[in-house]
Amino acid sequence: MSGWEGFSLGETRRWRHAGFDRVEASAWREAGVLDPGDARLWRTAGAAPRTVVVWQRAGMTPGEAVRWHELGVAPHDAARRHLCGERARRVSWFAKAPDMPEGPIRHLLRAGVPADVARAYADAGWDGAAGEQWAARRVDPGDARLFAALGFTAAEAAALGREAVALVMDWWGAVPVGEVAAWCAAGLTPAEAAAQRARGVTAEQAAVLRALNG
């Protein structure tokens, strides 16, 4: 069809049937989304070709992204919650009622955490004791969960001053995910850490530098 250079006749028909013009279809293909059905799901979830990488690098499928969107969760928050192993599902008020967050809130308030921060941590499902160091440093509760899953301490995460998902994206492919905290807290950039690993430096040696920095 005229104007669809670079697409086969069958591809053109599928993308057009899914509601995309050539410019949109090209953008999705450049973002690595080759199936127009997947592109339509990503679009429904609120993703765009320039932002879909956030969801993809979290290991999320288009269907999962749609479910997070239906729950009203923003893309970055959904990505970090997915990375922490949480899956999008609706929980009824009655199911949550036995575990209402008054306990965690009281614990955090006694620790000197402001009420709005304490409420945010309780709403995010944090135990008061587990969240105390993170909340005291005003780390976003969603970011805190992902930082903790990566092995960062609250002090290290606060010193970074970055969103957890952005940090994961920077380190993606440089070192194994389980080593990110050791290399990052040792003061190395992703490129430097990858180079050190290539020279035979281990994560355990990076952990020594991390301890010295701490």
Return all residues near 33 (Cβ < 8 A) that are at least 6 apart.
39, 42, 49, 52
Q: What is the DSSP string of the chain?
A: -TT-TTS-HHHHHHHHHTT--HHHHHHHHHTT---HHHHHHHHHTT--TTTHHHHHHTT--HHHHHHHHHTT--HHHHHHHHHTT-------HHHHGGG-THHHHHHHHHTT--HHHHHHHHHTT--HHHHHHHHHTT--HHHHHHHHHHT--HHHHHHHTS-HHHHHHHHTTTS-GGGHHHHHHTT--HHHHHHHHHTT--HHHHHHHHHHH-
- Is the pLDDT assigned to residue 120 strictly greater than 90? no
CA 158 to chain centre: 17
Q: Is the CB of residue 52 less than 8 Å from the CB of residue 33?
A: yes
pLDDT for the residue numbered 214: 58
For residue 93, is pLDDT > 50?
no
- For the chain, how big is the Rg over CA atoms in Å? 21
User: Does 95 have pLDDT greater than 70?
Assistant: no
Across the chain, mean pLDDT equals 84
Closest among 37, 34, 78, 38 to 58, alpha carbons compared = 78
* pLDDT tens digits, 39-78: 999 998 888 898 888 788 778 888 888 888 888 877 777 8
Query: CB within 8 A of 167, min separation 6: which ones?
Result: 160, 180, 184
Quote the pTM value: 0.59
